[in-house]
Amino acid sequence: MALRNGPDEFGLVTRVIHWTTMLLVIGQLALGLRLSDMEPGLANLWLYGLHKTIGFALLALILTRIAWHIVSPPPPPIGPRGPAFWAARIAHWGFYILLVAIPITGWAGSSATGIDVMIADRWTVPSLVEASEAGEAFWFRLHDILTKVLLALITVHMLGAFKREMEGDGTLTRMIRGRP
Ligand code: HEM
Ligand code: HEM
């Protein structure tokens, strides 16, 4: 089983990163939505910590993925270079940008609260911005908007994958077992 991507195949590394990211992103969206309905307090502070820790794991994962794709470029979408091809390309780029921007806006919003931002309750990361209520409102608003864009993109991406698989081009099979 090849670790690297081939000209027409997804290698194991890309596939493991893809499906791990999917699980973490879905959990993270659900957890974030719960948090936005809560008032932070002693009883639920661990949930905020969990969300931040998973968020940093996702940031590390997307940076690893981008670096890996420079070392081992993924295959282009299946089919001719028509609208579906470019839609897939744009969606993939959208994911790379959002999965970097969303953790950074969450990190900036959390820094603006003036409370130390920690990974796994253990490592304190540097503050990205000065503490201020206006900054907190601004960065969390941006975090919120970008997560809604991510949710919309995931929906379109999933529907596109299922549609193409049902048409029989093997797009989904290729992301599961490497080749169509
Ligand atoms: C890809 C990674 C991430 C995803 C998908 C994500 C998703 C979300 C979502 C959907 C919300 C609810 C937004 C709303 O309805 O207002 C949220 C809230 C929040 N996120 Fe994230 N997040 C991520 C990373 C992070 C990181 C890295 C941090 C901090 C270091 C963070 C801190 C927060 C906090 C503190 C809230 C609650 C904001 C409030 O009280 O309104 N997030 N997140
Ligand atoms: C939920 C978060 C998801 C994210 C962030 C995401 C992101 C991506 C990205 C960036 C790519 C381009 C290749 C790569 O960088 O690995 C990709 C490819 C792919 N994704 Fe997802 N994905 C998600 C969920 C899903 C789901 C739920 C499905 C299927 C039901 C799916 C099916 C596929 C398929 C079939 C490809 C290959 C497309 C091709 O051959 O051009 N993805 N995804």
Distance CA 42, CA 77 (A): 48
Residue 180: per-residue pLDDT: 87
Residue 42: per-residue pLDDT: 92
Ligand nearest to the CA of 10: 2
Which CA distances in Å does 107 have to 14, 110, 111, 114, 116?
A: 26, 5, 6, 11, 10
Distance CA 180, CA 178 (A): 7
Domain 12-177 has CATH 1.20.950.20: yes
Q: 3-class SS at 80? A: coil
Ligand 1 centre and the CA of 51: distance in Å?
A: 7
The finding on whether 57 has its CB within 6 A of some atom of ligand 1 is no
**What would the two tokens of residue 46 be?**
């661990």
| Residue ranges of domains in the chain | 12-177
Ligand 2 centre and the CA of 53: distance in Å?
A: 23
Question: Can you give the pLDDT of all 180 residues of the chain as single tens digits?
Answer: 799 999 999 999 999 999 999 999 999 999 999 999 999 899 999 999 999 999 999 999 999 999 999 999 999 999 999 999 999 999 999 999 999 999 999 999 999 999 999 999 999 999 999 999 999 999 999 999 999 999 999 999 999 999 999 999 999 999 999 998
| Residues 6+ away with beta carbon under 8 Å from 70 | none
Ligand nearest to the CA of 32: 1
What single letter denotes the amino acid at residue 155?
Answer: T
**What would the two tokens of residue 137 be?**
């409102």
| Residues 6+ away with beta carbon under 8 Å from 88 | 77, 160
For atom 35 of ligand 1, which residue has the closest CA?
110
- Asked whether 176 and 15 are in contact (CB, 8 A), the reply is yes
Ligand 1 centre and the CA of 149: distance in Å?
A: 13
Residue linked to tokens 């957890």? 31
Residue 88: per-residue pLDDT: 95
Half-sphere exposure of 29 (CA within 13 A, CB side): 16
**What would the two tokens of residue 108 be?**
């900036």
Residue 109: per-residue pLDDT: 98
Residue 147: per-residue pLDDT: 98
